[in-house]
Amino acid sequence: MSGGAAEGWTLKQIAHDIPLTGSAREVVELGQRLATMRGAPRTDPEHLLEAMVLLPKNAGHRALTALNANIDALRQSPELDATVRAAPAPIGTATRYLLNNAHREAEQIGHYQVDPVHLLLALLYKDSAGTAERLEAAGLSIYAVRQYLTAPGSMSKDARRRPLPSLAGAVRVSPVFAIPVGAAVVGGVGLWTGIAPGLTLPLSVLLVVGGWITSLCIHEFGHAFIAYIGGDRSVAAAGYLSLNPLKYTHPVLSIALPIVFLLIGGIGLPGGAVYLNERAIRTDRWRSFASAGGPLGNLLFAILIGWPFLIFQGSPPFGDIHFWAALAFLVFLQFTAIVLNLIPIPPFDGFGIIAPWLSIELRVLANRLGMLPLLLLFYLLWQGGPISATFWNFVYSLSSLLGVPDYLVFLGQQQF
């Protein structure tokens, strides 16, 4: 952490290391203002105690009242107005230690965030002699506060709620991501202008393949992003939050098979490989949400590139038809990926969504099947019949909801 004993710390710097509830922030912020109003160079523990006394609706003040502390004896003279605005004084070393102690108390009880009652407990520590003596003189003891902490209903739900992690420094867009994006842009510009009719095929390949790899990165980023928010910090270290396609590669599934299926079948095969630490994700709901993050990424990408079709309900009246055809095909591929991924069989995301709610026996049995369900599904789609017809009709119906005409999808597939 930047800052130090000489200049103190800001609340933002403190909160980076110590998770504070809104009520605890309120106490610290008022304490900083009170320090300034009293001409103190830094915020000391005495200022936090004074702030707690001046905030009757705060959890710390309620604890003082519930424990029959002599609040009048804790008031400072002259008493300041808590509503007066003042610049916050930096947080001093003594207060930094006090906040560390409060955090340690919270962790020992199993609380994820520091609440004003944890601050009150730390104010009774002997290394904060000034506040400890005043609180003890007012009739308070560490034992009484600890008893209060463990009493049912005494603590806010915020203290028990694990805070969402900061994304600062976790999300870093890799320059490698510019390669597929750049390829798609080059192909798109070439098709849009129509200046090289003889290059329609390579330009279409650039747009569609570049766009597909871009969507693959967004798909895998969606998994990793939600997993990170849900508690799995390993995805940041693995580079999954960088949008770098090289971080998501599986030798066969990520590159070879998706491109082959694009070239011969027009199917957006879900590729990529993001390995999540499911034990680190806080709940089954978050595990399901992390599995759904990939298809949600495809949906957002489809809307991002397909909004002109929705506005004009068909091919927009500008640009070259070959551009709109290739773009329509790329949108269509997003919906094939979404539908495929939501099928609840391994290794698709649909199975990952329901897996946390299944018995261990069912999950083990499903995982033993390996790639067999995937191969069987593609065989059925390839051979035609009712399953294939139902799948493609559903994908076309989803594309039509975004205003993508079927004939443009067909034209885009042909020129690709």
Question: Do the beta carbons of residue 189 and residue 328 sit within 8 Å?
Answer: no
Chain position carrying tokens 């003594």: 94
Instruction: Mark whether 29 is an active-site residue.
Output: no
pTM for this structure?
A: 0.70
Question: Do the beta carbons of residue 193 and residue 320 sit within 8 Å?
Answer: yes
Domain boundary among 109, 133, 160: 160
- What's the CA gap between 99 and 8, in Å, rounded? 13
pLDDT at 271: 63
- In this structure, what token pair is assigned to residue 67? 């424990």
Closest by Cα among 358, 365, 367, 305 to 330:
305
- What's the CA gap between 265 and 181, in Å, rounded? 23
Residues 233 and 375 grouped into a single domain: yes
Alpha helices, DSSP H, located in 165-230: 178-193, 200-229
- Residue 200 is assigned to a structural domain of this protein: yes
**78 burial type by CB count under 10 A (0-12 exposed, 13-18 middle, 19+ buried):** exposed
- What's the CA gap between 38 and 97, in Å, rounded? 22
Residues 135 and 243 grouped into a single domain: no
pLDDT at 174: 93
Q: Distance of CA 37 to CAs 30, 46, 58, 88, Å?
A: 10, 13, 21, 9
Among residues 26, 50, 105, 220, the one annotated as catalytic is 220
pLDDT at 256: 63
Asked whether the bond before 405 is cis by omega within 30 degrees of 0, the reply is no
Residues 152 and 188 grouped into a single domain: no
* CATH code (residue 104): 1.10.1780.10
Residues 112 and 192 grouped into a single domain: no
pLDDT at 6: 52
- What's the CA gap between 199 and 211, in Å, rounded? 18
pLDDT at 1: 44
Residues 131 and 205 grouped into a single domain: no
What DSSP assignment string belongs to 58-126? SHHHHHHHHTT--HHHH--SSPPPTT---PPPPBPHHHHHHHHHHHHHHHHHT-SSB-HHHHHHHHTSG
- In this structure, what token pair is assigned to residue 198? 């003889």
Residues 104 and 193 grouped into a single domain: no
Residues 94 and 195 grouped into a single domain: no
Closest by Cα among 292, 299, 245 to 268:
299
- What's the CA gap between 14 and 262, in Å, rounded? 51
Q: For the chain, what is the domain count?
A: 2
Residues 361 and 277 grouped into a single domain: yes
What DSSP assignment string belongs to 216-280? HHHHHHHHHHHHHHTT-THHHHTTTTTT-GGGG--IIIIIIHHHHHHHHH------------GGG
pLDDT at 272: 65
- What's the CA gap between 363 and 136, in Å, rounded? 57
Chain position carrying tokens 């390829």: 183
- Residue 6 is assigned to a structural domain of this protein: no
Residues 62 and 196 grouped into a single domain: no
- Residue 227 is assigned to a structural domain of this protein: yes
pLDDT at 2: 44
Residue type (1 letter), 148: Y
Domain range for 148 is 11-160
- Residue 332 is assigned to a structural domain of this protein: yes
Q: Distance of CA 42 to CAs 127, 220, 305, Å?
A: 18, 46, 53
Residues 193 and 257 grouped into a single domain: yes
Residues 145 and 244 grouped into a single domain: no
- Residue 143 is assigned to a structural domain of this protein: yes
Domain boundary among 160, 192, 207: 160
Domain boundary among 160, 188, 210: 160
Alpha helices, DSSP H, located in 342-371: 349-354, 360-368
- Residue 54 is assigned to a structural domain of this protein: yes
Q: Cα-atom radius of gyration of the chain, to the nearest Å?
A: 29
- Residue 259 is assigned to a structural domain of this protein: yes
- What's the CA gap between 56 and 182, in Å, rounded? 58
Across the chain, which has 416 residues, the per-10-residue mean pLDDT values are: 64 90 95 94 96 94 94 88 84 96 91 92 94 95 91 69 70 93 96 90 94 92 93 89 85 63 66 81 92 95 96 88 95 93 89 92 84 82 86 94 94 88
Residues 273 and 151 grouped into a single domain: no
